[in-house]
Structure 1
Amino acid sequence: MTSSARRKRSARFSDIADAAGVSITTVDRVLNERGSVSRKAREKVVAAARELGIPRLLPEVDTGLLHVDIVLPDNRSPFFRRLGQAFQRIVAMLDRRLVVHRVSVPDNDEAALLRVLAPRRYPRRALIVAAPDSEASRQALHQAQLRGEHVVMVVTRVEALPSAAYVGIDNYAAGRTAGHLIGRYCPQGGRVLILSSRRDYRGHRERSQGCRDALAGLPHLLCDAVSRETRDDPDQCYLALSDAFRRGEGIAAIYNTGAGSPGVVAALRRFVAHKVCWITHELSDDHRQYMQEGLLDVVIDQDPDTQALRAIQHVLAALGLAPPVPGSEQGGEFRLYVPENMRGERYLAE
């Protein structure tokens, strides 16, 4: 009986060894988790055993600590603060073998970003990042992929990085939605002022272009070919609007693709006696207040909590710690809020 069981086990191990291109001894060490075996050999054995349908619980490929970086800009806008809080909550629930380094990079310091994207002192296995769409960041992220790091982009994409996962909304569709709504809110016509946070972020460029494309079919509404860059600064938002109002351009609507809303409110209260349609992003606490006051008409919210969760799921799947994320759940959906359906809970935790 014992001899038969051994022959059956040996035959099974030999099948795995042949499929993986390793010795039977290596298969025994991997599946019974004894002895030192390289990670590459472990991957081959586990993959072969899984392919052959071996009826047993297979060991983890990675036996040591797995290092993951979450790299976000040091942007104090409500959205990035909530995104950071969401990551903090999720990371606290992860397996202790997963070591997550949360890195904050100065918002306009590309050199600092490139230093973080470069090889670290620890063996980084995955990288979750929101980065500008510049040639330098593209190259740095491509090099990270060549080193075997799984790259997940959140909030905004980067060009020429097709193998990186993207977790975020369709920003172009969000911009087109803003343009469509402006057309409905402003039948009288006039000028539409588009404020863009940063032109080096692809997401903001896509939002602006989407809005322009939607407005192109509405001849009674005009907008400039280039958006005014504000970098989420309330003062820059105020200056852009005050200049337009002082010139008497007949502003009918404002679409702000980013933050800096206190500056928009200050300009509206100082220069405008009639209603101006205003659409922006994120159901933050200040935006809820502005909608209650009748200043803000529509908020396009990109659900930072779900973005953080999906990004972590992508990393866990890439490291073999969770099933792959279904295709229908890989992106993100934006939500529209008006005064009648806005939620009552606070946007930021105390």
Structure 2
Amino acid sequence: MKKARLADIAKEAGVGLATVERVLNDRGNVRPRTAEKVVIAAKRLGYQRLIPDLYRGSIRIEVVMVRPETPFFSRLNRAFERISASLDNSITVNRTFVEESDPKKFAAHILNPNIRRRGLIVVAVDHPEIAESLRQVREAGVEVVQIVSYTGNDRGVFVGIDNYAAGRTAGFYMSRMLRHTEGTVVAICHSWAYQIHKERVRGFSDYLAARGKAGLDFAEVLFGRDDDVRTAEILVEALRREKKIVGIYNAGGANKGVGSVLQRLPNATANDVVWIAHELNDETRRFLKTGLMTLVLDQAPETQARRALDTVLHRLGVIDVEPVAEPVPFLTYTAENIG
């Protein structure tokens, strides 16, 4: 690559030569959005000089997540933290946690953030006001990537696993691992607030309806809001209400709540239940090792974080290589391959 000249950077950024000179020589008095264009153009062209401190961190990307106390989002947060530490100094990644239960506040934050940003990576609750806020932000020129989950039928740019396929995979393993030919199966998830939970349960149901065992009855979906206490309570009620439950598919979180109930059952009864869940963490690893949990489908949040950031940076023109567009592969774990 030939050495980049200021004129080349000006052409690439669509600004005047004087503007490029002011940015790269630390003279100030340049609008932040214009300075970002110059910084991005300089990096694309392989400009060798250091970017002045005034403009370091000028490309800001916000990552909006929910529920930092949960194992999955704690893991996703750490992934973004590690990856952002390895990025160029001109790129800053701000991580924000927003309350998932108040869509109005969630949408308000999307529209009125505390920082000026060029990119937004968001775990989106499926709600019309949030979908509208993301539409407005995109129209304002912010590069938006939805990660893990997305709003409605218009997912825009989405980074995540194929959740319908994950649900079908859970149904596949459930129907083959059951110790009994007859019985009841239940699914558990947060609620219908997340599009991905709808897809997982639909995939699970579709597989069992088409290819499940004849005596297997998919009885109901339980909504525990990913809260361990609530999940434990509704599962206890289901065990009392339904005929013999032989399979549990937890499509959401709150595995500790499910485990607390199964641990209280007589060993013979607990051993008869096939329990399939999502996300490998300390809790699910322990349940797998003890044999209480049968199988875990992990959606690789580290891969999602890397791909989401690469997608935003590519769309901003910072990197040339286009990230993979297909769904992130999910991983299957049992007691035999968790180490």
TM-score (norm: length of structure 2): 0.82
- 1:132–1:88: structure 2 CA closer, same or farther, 3 Å change rule? same
For residues 197 and 248 of structure 1, do their structure 2 counterparts lie closer, same or farther at Cα, with a shift above 3 Å needed?
closer
- How many residue pairs match? The answer is 317
Q: CA deviation at 1:266?
A: 2.2
**Given the superposition, is the C-alpha separation of residues 76 and 322 from structure 1 closer, same or farther in structure 2, using an over 3 Å criterion?**
same
Counterpart code for 1:130 = V
8 Å Cα contact 2:187/2:250 also seen in 1: yes
User: Deviation string for 1:222-254 (max 9, x for gaps)?
Assistant: 113x52111111122212221122235111100
For the structure 1 residues 253 and 20, does the alpha-carbon distance in structure 2 shift closer, same or farther, using more than 3 Å as the test?
Answer: closer
Q: Does 2:101 align with 1:104? A: no
Q: What's 1:277 paired with?
A: 274
Aligned positions of 1:1-350 closer than 5 A: 26=16, 30=20, 65-163=58-156, 165-186=157-178, 188-217=181-210, 218=212, 219-224=214-219, 227-272=221-266, 273-274=268-269, 275-327=272-324, 330-343=326-339
Inter-partner Cα distance in structure 2 for 1:198 and 1:86 = 26
Distance 2:256 2:36 in 1: 56
What is the CA RMSD across the aligned residues, in angstroms?
Answer: 3.2
Aligned to 2:118, the other structure's residue is in SS state: strand
Q: 1:292 Cα shift? A: 1.4
Structure 2 unpaired stretches of 5+ = 1-6
Q: Distance in 1 between matches of 2:147 and 2:106?
A: 15
Match of 1:3 in 2: none
Q: Measured at CA, do residues 309 and 143 of structure 1 come closer, stay the same or move farther in structure 2, by a change above 3 Å?
A: same
Structure-1 separation of matches of 2:34 and 2:280? 46
Deviation of residue 326 (structure 1)?
A: 3.4
1:322/1:221 Cα in 2 relative to 1: closer, same or farther (>3 Å)? same
SS in structure 2 of the partner of residue 327 of structure 1: coil
Where 1:124 maps in the other structure, the secondary structure is coil
Q: 1:19 Cα shift?
A: 11
Q: Is the partner of 2:73 in helix, strand or coil?
A: helix
Residue type at the aligned position of 2:228: P
Could you tell me how far apart the structure 2 residues matched to 1:181 and 1:250 are? 19
**Where does residue 4 of structure 1 map in the other structure?**
none
Secondary structure (helix, strand or coil) at the match of 1:192 reads: strand
Tell me, in whole angstroms, the C-alpha distance in 1 between the residues paired with 2:46 and 2:69: 51
Taking structure 1 as reference, are residues 334 and 41 closer, same or farther at Cα in structure 2, changes over 3 Å only? closer
Amino acid at match of 1:229: F
TM-score by length of 1: 0.80
Deviation for aligned residue 1:120: 3.1
Decide which moves more: 250-259 or 72-81: 72-81
Residues 42 and 298 (structure 1), Cα distance of their counterparts in 2 relative to 1, 3 Å cut = closer
Identical residues among aligned pairs (%): 35
Is contact 2:278-2:296 (8 Å) kept?
yes
